[in-house]
């Protein structure tokens, strides 16, 4: 259990390090941009823009136990610890200008996600850990609002938020699987919020972005087995870094 907790804390600290590093990089880049000539001066007057993005993320599951586990009906099982796992996302950008400082955008793409739970049990007074894993590709269709600051030479900051439905596009459906494994629903709906910076170059706009995602639906498939029986609900969480080109 201590090893699982250590790994989990390490992932949390790593996310903070990434956020701090990107913030410092953005600050230096923005300062350097203030004294350069203005690139793409009429870029934001266009109604629609297209582009693509590359992203990386860490994802995990938040566990909510059911009443049977809370009332100690599982003698050997004493905890279930989520473990963060890395993944990646690629896709396209369709951006619609709806006001001077407000855009509506959708970002259809495909992401590889891995969800891991560490089940900690006692076996003859010794602690034993076994894992439940789910790895799959998901088709994603985020629908987001982007609120932008006033442009300063070749940069502007922005905030972004909205909803992201996703559908599993690899493997069998949970209802078709007879194995005793961790079963995750093929559909998930998540709330997303984040921030980023638009950097204008001579030929394109580059936008590094950090986004936080929290599931709104129960990701646990309702068929009972040794992995799902102690759990009432699983909620997805992820922290993503995107590099967008338009």
DSSP string spanning 11-54?
A: HHHHHHHHHHHHHHHHHHHHHHHTTSPPPSTTGGGSSEEEEEEE
Where is average pLDDT lowest: 30-34, 84-88, 104-108, 153-157? 30-34
Every domain of the chain and the residues it spans: 2-245
Q: Are 233 and 47 in contact (CB under 8 A)?
A: no
Note the pTM of the prediction, 2 decimals: 0.80
Where is average pLDDT lowest: 20-34, 174-188, 189-203, 228-242? 20-34
232 versus 79: the higher-pLDDT residue is 232
* The two three-digit tokens of residue 104, written as one number: 């509506």
- In this prediction, residue 122 has a pLDDT band, given cuts at 50, 70 and 90, of confident
Nearest-angstrom CA–CA distance, 199 and 157: 9
Taking residues 235-240, report their average pLDDT: 96
Which CATH number is 2-245 given? Answer: 2.40.160.20
Indicate the SS3 state at residue 4.
helix
pLDDT confidence of residue 76: 75
Other CB atoms within a 10 A radius of the CB of residue 45 amount to 8
């Amino acid at each position: 259990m201590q090893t699982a907790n250590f790994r989990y804390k390490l992932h949390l600290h790593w996310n903070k390090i990434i956020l701090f590093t990107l913030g410092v990089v953005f600050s230096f880049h923005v300062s350097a941009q203030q004294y350069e000539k203005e690139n793409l001066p009429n870029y934001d007057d266009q109604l629609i823009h297209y582009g693509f993005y590359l992203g990386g993320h860490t994802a995990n599951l938040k566990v909510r136990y059911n009443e049977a586990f809370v009332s100690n009906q599982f003698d050997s099982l004493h905890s279930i610890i989520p473990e963060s796992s890395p993944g990646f996302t690629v896709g396209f950008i369709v951006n619609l200008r709806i006001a001077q400082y407000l855009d509506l955008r959708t970002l259809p793409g495909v992401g590889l996600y891995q969800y891991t739970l560490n089940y900690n049990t006692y076996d003859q007074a010794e602690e034993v850990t076994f894992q439940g894993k789910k790895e799959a590709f998901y088709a994603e269709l985020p629908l987001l609002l982007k609120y932008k600051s006033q442009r300063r030479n070749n940069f502007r900051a922005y905030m972004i938020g909205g909803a992201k439905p996703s559908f599993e596009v690899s493997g069998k459906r949970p209802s078709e699987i007879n194995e005793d494994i961790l079963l995750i629903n093929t559909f998930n709906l998540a709330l997303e919020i984040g921030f980023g910076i638009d950097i204008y170059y001579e030929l394109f706009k580059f936008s590094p972005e950090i986004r936080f995602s929290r599931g709104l639906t129960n990701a646990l498939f309702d068929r009972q087995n040794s992995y799902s029986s102690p759990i009432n609900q699983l909620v997805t969480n992820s922290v993503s870094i995107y590099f967008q080109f338009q």
